[in-house]
Amino acid sequence: MTWALALVFFRKSGERVHPLALNLFKNVVGIVMIFVTLGIFYSLGVTNQEFDPGSDANWRSTLPVADYYLLIISGFLGIAVADTLLFKCLNLVGVSMFVIVECTYSPITLVVAWWVLAEKIEWPHIFGGILILIAILMTVKARPPADRTRREVLTGLVLGILYIFLMAIGIVLSKPVFATDGFPLLEATVLRLLAGTAALALMAAASPKRRELFSVFIPTRFWKYTFPGAFLGGFVSMVFWLAGFKYTETGVAAILNQTSVIFAAVFAMIFLKEHISGRKLASIGLAFAGVLLVRIGPGLGNLFAKLTQHE
């Protein structure tokens, strides 16, 4: 729900704030809040070992240098570049269309993991991906927002899929680092965030529009959208993602995360007055069904196989 609400604030912020500047602001707010929170925890005597009990206390001396490079590259692709495309896509297509594109995350990540890590793809993954593809094609035919042309919407959808692809690459690159080598999840996440933020700061500094881009840090009346979006999307959502990753079963966490599709569509209709046509509603439902099939289909198939064996 927090990510869904953040999308609404990001969409309003995008009316005045450049996508690169909004991404940089989001990450800086996230970094500041993380370190403030960690400072409070440490002052209360809560250590990282308690948060991440599976990590090795001497992990810095045992991990290969290549792990750091992978996390830095992952942060550049998955945070600096991908999230900037996210905000540009959001500006072009709106929240209710963007959440349909966001459903491509599961199948695209599976394809990237199959390609890079040789992970297995099963039939439920393929069928779920087909449902999501049909939902995207239905979205292309849907009525564009009042202030956008069909060409702009198509451009936004392409940028959104590219955002998902780059984010998937970033996640897949970082997965072996903490799944195999034991890099603590919190430190890995912070390092990716720092790398992505540093890259964004360099890009902003090199831009002819640097004054405009860095002016996002000057408080204005638009901070009533920009700051809540950055706080919810850059900090709170990430904390919930980390907690789900560590303390919830993968399938349950995935389903809970994907409910943001429903909440985002509802919030877009209520707060942004976005038109939710029957075609768009059907696309959202189809995409959500596809995600569920990708996420839990193989597990249900295995459970069914076991039950039939017992019979």
DSSP 92-103: HH-HHHHHHHHT
Q: What is the DSSP string of 201-218?
A: HHHHHHSTTHHHHHGGGS
The region that residue 196 occupies, defined by phi over 0 for left and psi between -120 and 50 for alpha, beta otherwise, is alpha
Please give the pLDDT value at position 307: 45
Determine the residue type at 308: T
Task: pLDDT band for 50, please (50, 70, 90 cuts).
Answer: very low
Please give the pLDDT value at position 49: 47
The region that residue 97 occupies, defined by phi over 0 for left and psi between -120 and 50 for alpha, beta otherwise, is alpha
Other C-beta atoms within 10 Å of 186: how many?
A: 17
pLDDT beyond 50 at 304: no
Q: Where would I find the H helices in 14-149?
A: 19-43, 48-51, 59-62, 65-75, 82-93, 95-102, 105-117, 123-141
Average of pLDDT values for 150-168? 93
What does the block give as tokens for 243?
A: 């907690």
Angle in degrees, 0-180, between the axes of helices 250-258 and 237-247, rounded to the nearest 10: 150
The percent of residues above 90 in pLDDT, for the chain, comes to 40
pLDDT beyond 80 at 114: yes
Dihedral angle computed from the Cα positions of residues 15, 229, 197 and 170, in that order, rounded to the nearest 10 degrees:
-100
Determine the residue type at 288: F
Please give the pLDDT value at position 299: 61
Determine the residue type at 244: G
Contact present, 274 and 142 (Cβ < 8 Å):
no
Average of pLDDT values for 97-116? 85
Token pair 């942004």 is at which residue? Answer: 272
| 4/33 Cα distance (integer angstroms) | 20
Q: Which residue has the higher pLDDT, 201 or 104?
A: 201
3-state class of 274 per DSSP?
coil
Mean pLDDT across the chain? 83
Please give the pLDDT value at position 11: 96
CA-angle at 169, arms to 36 and 129, nearest 5°: 115
pLDDT beyond 90 at 125: no
Q: pLDDT (tens digit, 9 = 90+) per residue, 247-273?
A: 555 555 555 666 788 889 889 999 998
Task: pLDDT band for 182, please (50, 70, 90 cuts).
Answer: low
Helices and strands (H and E) in the chain: how many: 17, 0
Q: pLDDT (tens digit, 9 = 90+) per residue, 62-75?
A: 667 888 899 999 99
Please give the pLDDT value at position 254: 57
Identify the weakest region by mean pLDDT among 4-18, 238-252, 270-284, 287-301.
238-252
Domain boundaries, the chain: 2-49+62-310
Please report the sign of the dihedral spanned by the C-alpha atoms of residue 202, residue 216, residue 38, residue 188: negative
